[in-house]
Structure 1
């Protein structure tokens, strides 16, 4: 995809996934251009020793830089930041990351809910949340927090998910404004950013 995107009135995109999530992320990243104008921050349930392999696998298909998020580092536009295994990833109001070893949420650390809820607090309506395939309900409450804060919320169409439980949980509680098949999520994100640019008239 070569479409050039102008800076939108969106500060970040947060993404959560679990079982089947790596392949889903690869599909999405293949559709994003190198000049993608916002940070993408990802929680994928994985073990503490899987960071390097996940970065390597995702970078094969991505025009964007992929790396594990670091304490106090900023969220960078055009960059995919991954929650490191064994830590909750939080977003601060100034757009920097914090890492936490607080108790597991939904039996997970990193937990999607933790990222989504702190991002909703930090960015409000200037946030897009995306919940993908997975085998538990982590992320559904966080996605609802994003919706209540005025952000744009997306769940993968469960019919296209390797495991439908996670996106279906978000749909069931009314957290997802949009339900999009996996193959359409990259295009949906690019279109959403382009619409925000047109609406706000940012140059």
Structure 2
């Protein structure tokens, strides 16, 4: 089914990682993607596991895309944003079905951008786009290398303009990043990639 859905374009999925400053950054990024994005978007935002999150409701007010908390064994659909729930790793399989896991923390965090990116790389290979925006720590840096090694494309927010530099700088420092952009430029870059050859 995935190959039929995405046969007209080179990219099949976008995965985004953020931490500190991420709600504002995600609002900016998702808000620029428009209502008719032809691929799904998977998001890991580090959240306090002790509280129910309102992130989906907050982001839904900033984008025309459908935003929801990801559910275990849920198939992904184009034009939908799937958020990792608090304290659960978010993974995707080659069949485009999501898995939620409470396996061990990675770099002291769950959900882990590294695990999401690695699963996206394994499932989609060159059809994957990984994007790291504002956040502290190094989560996502191993994952972007996995995406790049499988032929995918990696975007990082410019650490010089990011609200929190840790995560985007760690990604850039791997040498696996294809585009280093200001947050307000990332949505247009993603749209340009996923809509390529779709005319």
TM class by shorter chain equals: over 0.9
Matching residue of 2:181: 180
TM-score, structure 1 length as denominator? 0.91
**CA spacing shift, 1:181–1:58, aligned 2, 3 Å:** same
Which residue matches 1:120?
121
What is the RMSD computed on CA atoms of the aligned residues? 1.5
Q: List runs of 5+ in structure 1 lacking aligned partners.
A: 1-5
Aligned 1:1-203 pairs, distance under 5 A = 8-48=9-49, 50=51, 52-195=53-196, 197=197
Task: Please state whether the residue corresponding to 1:159 is helix, strand or coil.
Answer: coil
Residue pair 1:72, 1:98 contacting (<8 A) in 2 also: yes
Query: Partners in 1 of 2:192 and 2:146 — Cα distance?
Result: 23
CA drift at 1:49: 5.1
The CA deviation at 1:165 is 1.0
The separation in 1 between residues aligned to 2:138 and 2:195, in whole angstroms, is 31
Corresponding residue pairs, total: 193
Q: Distance in 1 between matches of 2:167 and 2:177?
A: 12
Gaps of 5+ in 2: 1-6
CA-CA distance at 1:173 after TM superposition: 1.3
Q: How far apart are the structure 1 equivalents of 2:110 and 2:52?
A: 13
Change (3 A) 1:133 1:148: same
Q: TM-score, normalised by structure 2?
A: 0.93
